[in-house]
A and B are shown apart, each in its own frame.
Chain A
Amino acid sequence: MKIAFTLGYPSKRSGRIYVAFELHPKGKWKNKERILIFSSRGINFRTRHLMQDLRMLMPHSKADTKMDRKDKLFVINEVCEMKNCNKCIYFEAKKKQDLYMWLSNSPHGPSAKFLVQNIHTLAELKMTGNCLKGSRPLLSFDPAFDELPHYALLKELLIQIFSTPRYHPKSQPFVDHVFTFSILDNRIWFRNFQIIEEDAALVEIGPRFVLNLIKIFQGSFGGPTLYENPHYQSPNMHRRIIRSITAAKYKEKQQVKDVQKLRKKEPKTILPHDPTADVFVTPAEEKPIEIQWVKPEPKVDLKARKKRIYKRQRKMKQKVNSGNAK
């Protein structure tokens, strides 16, 4: 009979309140799945928060320190064995930009490498739902997971990793949230919803991310490749293509300019003189050339004269006014 301690609302004055009662009166914890969740060095804040969120949502998980990137990947198997874990989620950050995620079954089983995109963590204010810490999730899969063999293998792996074992000592017995895995655009989309009502009203809790499958290996962090994703494009390649597009645009402009320059320098074909063009040509009459010897008389500019008079009047007025003021 296992008695578990559950925290009520802690109050700072009287210390923590312990409410002890039996969490799992009937069942024994049989499904011994333990997940090791850790990362390499060089991850950024978003990845760190994602990892913490996953650790919080999965009570059957264990944490470990960051791994040096110098070490080869099969060292992870030893780490798992030391921690007595049989599954592993390993986050690998490269170039401080790209995040890769390894899902693997530790000693012998298959492993898969993914590129993670579009990460939104639990703490984002748009994720308004909430769930019990450590409650068991309902897993919902797209029917496309049953169609192709590599997706079927991934489905099994995801089920074994993400489903909380029943009667796990740190888990809550309620089922109040659902993990959604959907396949769209050759990627796996992960969402986490809270079940509010019995009529399936849902609110998103978070986190969210998108997994882009790269390869599936037969062994854990190694071994022969079972499947390679033909739609996968490495982020380096993606960036390179974008840069080459902009470069190509510029190059094309330059080329067009060069061609135009060459064309200008080409000798132009001079057409022979067409005699019929002169038929209707009539020369203009010649005007006699007039030369002015005498300077023209200056015109009386009435406007300017008026302006001068007006200005003088104003000045006189101002003088009078200022005289009055004094």
Chain B
Amino acid sequence: MDTPPLSGSDSDSDDSLVTDKELQEAFSRGLLKPGLNVVLEGSKKAVNDVNGLKQCLAEFKRDLEWVERLDVTLGPVPEISGPQSTPQNKDQNKDQKGVDPEDDFQREMSFYRQAQAAVLAVLPRLHQLKVPTKRPTDYFAEMAKSDQQMQKIRQKLQAKQVAMEKSEKAKQLRALRKYGKKVQTEVLQKRQREKANMMSAIKKYQKGFSDKLDFLDGDQKPVARSTKEGAKGQQMRKGPNAKRRYKNQKFGFGGKKKGSKWNTRESHDDVSSFRAKIAHGKGLKRPGKKGSNKRPGKWTREKMKSRAR
């Protein structure tokens, strides 16, 4: 980029504060560098007339007694923090510099502690000077806030407290209800299970699978029983009834699949309906009801007749 000539005729020498000659001199001295020089506005320097301030303060200050002014300049009361190994000074510094103005609680606490420090320092002094700080009980005077205002404040505080207590109670009730519900469902389930077991045991006895009437004795040995019952119960509980299972297969789960094969590989491989005892002819021992009904054949009857004669 070409630099414009310093002694250019197109520069408005009337308006510029610095004349061309001055610029030339500055350049020759080495203050200006080649290139386009732009006049920058310097950063505004804030007025800080320290001497003026001090003088003004000296003139303005009134030498009043401390009792008239009642002013204290103290840092905040140091925080009561947990056991720390760092020395006390560091703690104080940290307190003073670490107060984040955005952190509302910390900030308000620092103001509170500053006020506390002031009060603690001043009260003995005031008592010495016989300035009263406590109001006697029979001293009635107008307060900054009217009684009505104080009533409002008290009501609001009470309402807040009541609301908090209510919410606490509600929480507890909800927790209790959940627990109660759990307990209730457990008890109901237990009862149902016992009933089911009893019914299955009865049916077993009826069908002749077991001829012990132990289940009527009640829960004598619940631990031992439960394990035995557990094993048997598992077998019984594994599915619903045979009838139920058949019906489910026919009508349940979307109904019977029309035209579906029933001689598939899975059905061929499925040997769950194989009962070894029945297959080998050793199986069912029925109590003598039907057996006794069996009438001997004609030839055997003739034989018996003839023998009887």
Contacts and interface: CB of A to CB of B under 8 A. Distances in A.
B202 interface: no
Contacts of B117: 140
Contact of B67 (A127, A166, A202, A226): A166
B179 interface: no
A143 interface: yes
A140 B60 contact: no
Interface string B98-125: 0101000001001110111111101100
A132 B61 contact: no
Overall SS of chain A's interface: mixed
Contacts of A165: 68
Interface stretch (B79-87, B126-134, B222-230, B272-280): B126-134
Interface residues of B, number: 58
B56 A226 contact: yes
A35 to B, nearest CB: 15
Contact of A150 (B53, B141, B152, B157): B53
A79 B141 CA distance: 32
B61 A139 contact: no
A42 interface: no
B75 interface: yes
A224 B74 CA distance: 32
Contact of B101 (A125, A185, A302): A185
Contacts of A152: 53, 57
B4 to A, nearest CB: 31
A65 B214 CA distance: 104
B307 interface: no
Interface in B51-92: 52-54, 56-57, 59-62, 64, 67-75
Contacts, number: 178
B258 to A, nearest CB: 7
Contacts of A182: 110-111, 114
Nearest to A137: B70
B47 A228 contact: yes
A180 interface: yes
B149 interface: yes
A146 B259 CA distance: 101
Interface stretch (A169-177, A240-248, A271-279): A169-177
A199 B117 CA distance: 10
A213 B40 CA distance: 28
A185 B141 CA distance: 39
B69 A139 contact: yes
Interface stretch (A153-161, A252-260, A315-323): A153-161
Interface in A1-31: 6-9, 19, 31
Contacts of B73: 140-143, 145-146, 155
A105 to B, nearest CB: 6
Contacts of B60: 105, 109-110, 153, 156-157
B135 A178 contact: no
A10 B62 CA distance: 41
A7 B70 contact: no
B19 to A, nearest CB: 32
B62 A160 contact: yes
B70 A136 contact: yes
Interface in A97-116: 105, 109-110
A138 B49 contact: no
Contacts of B107: 184, 189
Size bin of chain A's contact surface: 35 or more
A130 B144 contact: yes
For B46, B61, B115, B133, which residue has the most chain A Cβ atoms within 10 angstroms?
Answer: B115
A7 B140 CA distance: 7
Interface in A175-230: 175-176, 178, 180, 182, 184-185, 189, 191, 193, 195, 198-200, 202, 205, 216, 218, 224-230
Contact of B140 (A6, A110, A146): A6
A180 B74 CA distance: 11
Nearest to B130: A26
A282 to B, nearest CB: 38
A19 B117 CA distance: 37
Given A139-B71, A185-B101, A180 B114 contact: yes
A175 B258 CA distance: 99
Contacts of B134: 174, 198
Interface in B127-184: 131-135, 140-145, 149-150, 152-153, 156-157
Interface in A22-66: 31, 56-57
27 contacts: A6-B141, A7-B141, A19-B140, A125-B152, A125-B156, A132-B144, A142-B114, A143-B75, A146-B73, A152-B57, A163-B70, A175-B132, A182-B114, A184-B107, A193-B115, A198-B123, A198-B134, A202-B112, A202-B115, A202-B119, A205-B145, A224-B52, A226-B53, A227-B53, A228-B47, A229-B46, A230-B46
Q: Which 8 A-B pairs have the closest CB atoms?
A: A140-B118, A230-B46, A185-B101, A139-B71, A228-B46, A200-B119, A149-B53, A200-B116
Given A142-B114, A227-B48, 5 more contacts: A7-B142, A130-B143, A149-B53, A178-B119, A302-B258
Interface of B: 46-50, 52-54, 56-57, 59-62, 64, 67-75, 99, 101, 107, 110-112, 114-120, 122-123, 126, 131-135, 140-145, 149-150, 152-153, 156-157, 258
